[in-house]
Amino acid sequence: MKCFSRYLPYIFRPPSAILSSSCHAEADIISTVEFNHTGELLATGDKGGRVVIFQREQESKHQPHRRGEYNVYSTFQSHEPEFDYLKSLEIEEKINKIRWLPQQNAAYFLLSTNDKTVKLWKVSERDKRPEGYNLKDEDGRLRDPSMITMLRVPVLRPMDLMVEATPRRVFANAHTYHINSISVNSDYETYMSADDLRINLWNFEITNQSFNIVDIKPANMEELTEVITAAEFHPHHCNTFVYSSSKGTIRLCDMRTSALCDRHAKFFEEPEDPSNRSFFSEIISSISDVKFSHSGRYIMTRDYLTVKVWDLNMENRPIETYQVHDYLRSKLCSLYENDCIFDKFECVWNGSDSVIMTGSYNNFFRMFDRNTKRDVTLEASRENSKPRAILKPRKVCVGGKRRKDEISVDSLDFSKKILHTAWHPSENIIAVAATNNLYIFQDKVN
């Protein structure tokens, strides 16, 4: 049985928990969370197709304790529900993934995707507006040209800051199946989108073409045995990417070898433990998320019960395996019945790749320190989110005597699941999405 520890190098406190309305609609359920490359911005996508971007407040000596708080910066409707008339299918507007582009000018760019369409959004600030047009007056009404007696040059006058989001590119009609991942290449010119059976490579400038780089669709669909579950580009090598499968395998591909990367350069798979075999072995081995470490040397995968860290140089087994909630292993049948076994948890690295984090049920999330081998279970809830309060480690009691403060497995609330989390790229700030609420915790080292 796991014993948690408080000896992680930081203690998380919530300076502000940003909550949405308490009676939540399904559309408000957060479906993705992502910091940008500097950590200044935090984007969330929800089931209703909206994107909300938070911005970190600048440090100010007048209110030093408010440094680092995230406030809403921009909100826009990224995707709308669509109907595919040819196939009689409704296309959900839920945002599956958001990925930021590195900032190259004053504006911010991000990719957001639903099941079928990827969009590139430009988020920019406007704090000046032109005044003094000749042909129209301040309200925009056209002037009668015959009434104009003199010309003037319009000038820019300050205005209240307005943040506007405009769709700059729409990458549509390239995916037959549901898009599960997008990943920006380190060349910043291309990105890939992956669905259940195919991965396509796009150029940001070109929306009417994409290259298919992986295709695992069998000629006879009855022979289908696995699907692609996640894909990501290597953080530094623009020719390398990985994709995970529902069979618990990861393939690393090199785009230099051939145009269609159906043959992998590396194949990562851990042999199954026969003693753990059950009806649900296949489901729980399906990988729900794959992430490169910032260093590019490791990949981390999440399946239903564990998180694994793999060294790119060793294909036959992971170098580290962490049990997230092994107490669920005996409950797989119930979890299958209530569909929880299909939940797709994500996992994240911290900035230095020393700690990994992933979510669980009952609004719990777990952190594992790779160096000290210590782990902790924390809870995202309103009760323990008073500002500047310390998050108390939680513990799940598996059997036998339940101690005070412990929670028994049967009392866990499986409707409260933390699927999406994000870690600031350089600081110890984490964002945790609990259904329709977003929690942001910071480490305040004294």
Partner 1 sequence: MEFKLEAHRIVSISLGKIYSARGQRGGLKLHKNLLVSLVLRSARQVYLSEPGCPPEPPHAACGPPEEEPPPCTTVWAAGEPPPPPQDEAARGGPRLPGADCEGPRSRRCCCGCSCCCAAGGGEANPADCATAGAAAPPPPHCPRKRSAGERGQAGSPVKKPRREVEDPPPPPPGEQEDMDTGNVASLISIFGSSFSGLLSKEPKGRRRAPLDGSETAPAEAAAEPGQICCDEPVLRTLNPWSTAIVAF
Residue written as token pair 């408010």: 66
Nearer to partner 1, 94 or 99 (CB): 94
Find the shortest distance in angstroms from Cβ 210 to partner 1.
17
Contacting residue, 52, 123, 197, 430, with partner 1 by CB under 8 A: 197
Q: Which is nearer to partner 1, 60 or 220 (CB)?
A: 220
Residues 1, 77, 80, 84: which binds partner 1 (CB under 8 A)? 84
346 binds partner 1 per the rule CB under 8 A: no
| Rounded distance between C-alpha atoms, residue 154 and residue 147, angstroms | 18
Residue 18 or 182 having the CB closest to partner 1: 182
Binding of residue 27 to partner 1 (CB under 8 A)? no
Under rule CB under 8 A, residue 87 binds partner 1 = yes
Residues 6+ apart with CB under 8 A from 140: none
Closest of 42, 19, 3, 14 to residue 384, by C-alpha:
14
Stretch that binds partner 1, among 62-70, 91-99, 161-169, 356-364 (CB under 8 A): 91-99
Q: d(Cα 339, Cα 335) in Å, to the nearest integer?
A: 6
Smallest gap from residue 224 Cβ to partner 1 (A): 5
Footprint on residues 177-196 left by partner 1 (CB under 8 A) = 177-178, 180, 196
Long-range Cβ contact pairs of 103-106 (< 8 A, separation 24 or more): 103/36, 103/37, 103/38, 104/188
Reference 152, options 139, 134, 135; nearest CA is 134
Whichever of 96 and 293 has its CB closer to partner 1, that residue is 96
Angle (nearest 5°) at CA 131 between 130 and 133: 105
Give the largest Cα separation in the chain, rounded. Answer: 91
Task: Write down the least CB distance from residue 322 to partner 1, Å.
Answer: 23
- Among positions 213-242, residues that touch partner 1 (CB under 8 A) are 217, 220-227, 229
List, in order, residues 6 or more apart from 297 with CB less than 8 Å away: 311, 312
Footprint on residues 114-173 left by partner 1 (CB under 8 A): 115
Q: Which stretch binds partner 1 (CB under 8 A): 282-290, 307-315, 316-324, 432-440?
A: 282-290
User: Across the chain, how many H-helices and E-strands are there?
Assistant: 2, 32
Query: Helices (DSSP H) in 163-226: which residue ranges?
Result: none
Residues found near partner 1 in the complex (CB under 8 A) = 84, 86-87, 89-92, 94, 115, 176-178, 180, 196-197, 217, 220-227, 229, 246, 279-280, 282-283, 286, 333, 336-337, 339, 342
